[in-house]
A and B are shown apart, each in its own frame.
Chain A
């Protein structure tokens, strides 16, 4: 194996790993967001509105 071949092999492995990282990550991104976060944002918004109204 020449040095160049070894280098190609490494690049290929890095590409293979990154490709799978993207798959794992995109599966996670596509998961449904739990309702608690939408509820949380609604609560935070309501609190802000109360603050503003009080002033």
Chain B
């Protein structure tokens, strides 16, 4: 089996890398700087990449390390493991009980970095818990617990319960999912 030049392959992963950076930094300019740093580091360290392994995971790891080390350097590490900053956040369901995607994003952005990255890796970008643990350099159980805490916090912020409509909508036109999944009130 022949492999493409990894330097060529890198371009394919940039949209995902940038999406990860945006979720992590919550800031377009910072995210793009992180992606740029990551590309340069990956390019100049390409001999360290094992051809045939998951390049996306490798790039995510570099980006993540770049992000956390610059955060430390800037000495603006926000110690907020419980996400207490969100106290001022007000996210209420629409009057019809639907949750707006914009509200979801707002709530998501208030989660601590570790929970956001765990959720993006396993919930959104389809990495396995094992891959996510590798990327973050922690145990699988740690990733699971961060993702679970993130989901629990979102559930709380968005006031979700078992009866919440399955679809969150950007408008109120979505029909209410009938049946409610058999959850008793």
Contacts and interface: CB of A to CB of B under 8 A. Distances in A.
Interface of A: 1-2, 5-6, 8-10, 12-26, 28-31, 33-34, 36-37, 40-41, 44-45
B15 interface: yes
21 contacts: A8-B182, A8-B183, A9-B161, A9-B163, A13-B155, A13-B161, A14-B151, A17-B123, A17-B155, A17-B160, A19-B167, A19-B168, A20-B104, A25-B120, A28-B23, A29-B16, A29-B19, A33-B15, A37-B36, A41-B11, A44-B43
Contacts, number: 105
B184 interface: yes
A14 to B, nearest CB: 6
B124 interface: yes
B166 A37 contact: no
Contact of B168 (A1, A20, A29, A36): A20
A10 to B, nearest CB: 8
